Copies of this chain bind each other. A is one copy, B any other.
Amino acid sequence: MKFTIEKKLDGTLARAGEIETVNGIIKTPAFVTVGTKATVKTLTAEQVRGLGAQVVLANTYHLYLQPGEDIVAQAGGFGKFMDWHGPTMTDSGGFQAFSLGAAFGANVSKVATGDEVEDISAYEGQLAHVTDEGVTFKSHIDGSKHLFTPERSMEIQWKLGADMIFAFDECTSPTAPYEYQQKSLARTYEWAKRSLDAHGKLDTEKKQALFGVIQGGRFKDLREQAARDLGVLNFDGFGIGGSFTKADIGTAVGWVNAVLPEDKPRHLLGIGEPADLFAAVEAGCDLFDCIAPTRMGRHGTLHTADGKINIKNARFVQDFTPIEEGCTCYTCMRHTRAYLAHLFRADEMTAGTLASIHNLHFILRLVEKIRRSILDDTFHDYKQAFLARYKA
C-alpha cells in the first residue's frame, strides 16, 4: 500500500491524496462502503460498482461467526467471495465484540447524544470480560462464548484477506471515566504491539496494510499520548476509534491528527453523517466508514440537500417528484417519492434497495465533492453552503 498526499489545505489539517493498493486506487478523502457480512445490504456487487464506491469494508466479528474465516479464505478472501474486486478493508472485530457481543443483541451507538451515561457494562467489562489477554464475548446469534485476542484478530483478518486491516483494540464509551480510559489505553497499546508482531509472522510478503487504532475517549492528553505511542510503531496507517459526541468529533480527531505522522492515511471508524464528515476532513482524516446510509435507507430515511426526509410520511404518498431534484442516482433518475412511499408501505424489499442506492450515492458524491473542494481551495465555501442548507 502506498499513500501520496496531493494537496494540503492551508490553515487546516485537511488533505487530498491517493492510496494505492494491489486492487486499485482510492482517491481520498473517501467514504468506505460497509459490507458487514461480505455484502452491502440489499445491493448486488454490480450495484455497488455502479455507485462508484472505491472501497468496501467487512466486519471481522460478523464473518468470523458466519460463515467463518476459513470458508472466506477458501473463497479467496471476502472481496472475491462477494464479487468485489476493488480495494477492501476489515475492522478489528473489537467494536462489535464489545457492542453486539457484550450487550448480546443490544446495539451500543458510536455517537453519544449528550452527557447521559450509556449502558456501562461494556466498558466495565461485566459482560465482555476484558482482560489483558483479550475479550471474551457472547455471539449475538446464539449466545455461544468466544475469545478475541490481538493474535486471533490478526489470524482471522489475514484469512478474510482484505488489503487494509486494523490492529485489535478496546473500544471504550465516550462516557467512561478517565481512570478506565487510561487503563484501557495502556491495554490497547500492548495489543497494538502484539497485533504488529502476530501480523508480521503471518504476512511475510507484506500483502496487507495494518492500521493501528487510536483510542483515548474525550481526553486530550490520552488521545495525544495514544497518537504519539502508536505513531512511532510500524503501522501503515491509523484508525481513530471510540465513540464521540457530535460536538467533539472534529476536536478530538484534530488532537490525534496533529500528532500522527502526516505521511500515513487516517481512517475515522464508524462515522458518516454529513456534518461529521466535514469536521473530520478538516481535522485531517482521509477515510470514513459507516452503516448509516444503508441502515437509514432500509428504514425509509433519505438524505436530501435540505436534510433528511422520512419517505413513509403521508405527504409523500402522492408526491410524483424524485427524492431529490437533480440527483443522478439510479433511484432518482427512474422513480418518484410516491413510488418509494408505496414500496415502503407495502413492505417490499426493493424499497430498501432503492433507498440504499440513493443514500450511498448521496454520501459518496458528498465526500467526492469535499475532495474536489480541497483540491481547488473551495472547501470552506462548500462546507458553509452545504451545512447552511442541510438540516441534520
Contact = CB atoms under 8 A, between A and B. Distances in A.
Name which of A67, A74, A318, A338 has the most chain B CB atoms within 10 A of its CB: A67
A67 B338 contact: yes
A66 B330 contact: no
Interface in A336-354: 336, 338-339, 341-343, 345-346, 348-350, 352-354
A360 interface: no
A318 B46 contact: no
Interface in A122-142: none
Given A74-B318, A348-B41, A46 B330 contact: yes
A42 B350 contact: yes
Name which of A317, A345, A353 has the most chain B CB atoms within 10 A of its CB: A353
B346 A66 contact: yes
Interface stretch (A75-83, A106-114, A161-169, A204-212): A75-83
A45 interface: yes
A334 B46 CA distance: 10
A317 B71 contact: yes
A328 to B, nearest CB: 15
Contacts of A334: 45-46, 83
A334 to B, nearest CB: 4
A346 B37 contact: yes
Interface in A145-189: none
Nearest to A352: B349
A390 interface: no
Interface in A25-77: 37-46, 62, 66-67, 71, 74-75
A330 B44 contact: yes
A338 B75 contact: yes
B44 A354 contact: yes
Contacts of A318: 71, 74
A257 B126 CA distance: 73
A335 interface: yes
Nearest to A72: B342
Contacts of A345: 66-67
Given A44-B353, A66-B342, A334-B45, A320 B37 contact: no
Contacts of A62: 346
A69 B302 CA distance: 26
Contacts of A341: 67
Contacts of A74: 318, 320, 338
Given A43-B350, A75-B338, 19 more contacts: A37-B342, A37-B348, A40-B350, A42-B349, A42-B350, A44-B330, A44-B350, A46-B334, A67-B338, A67-B345, A71-B318, A71-B338, A74-B318, A74-B320, A74-B338, A81-B336, A81-B342, A82-B339, A349-B349
Interface of A: 37-46, 62, 66-67, 71, 74-75, 81-83, 317-318, 320, 330, 334-336, 338-339, 341-343, 345-346, 348-350, 352-354
Name the 9 nearest CB pairs between A and B, nearest first. Answer: A67-B342, A83-B334, A37-B346, A42-B349, A39-B350, A39-B348, A349-B349, A66-B346, A81-B339
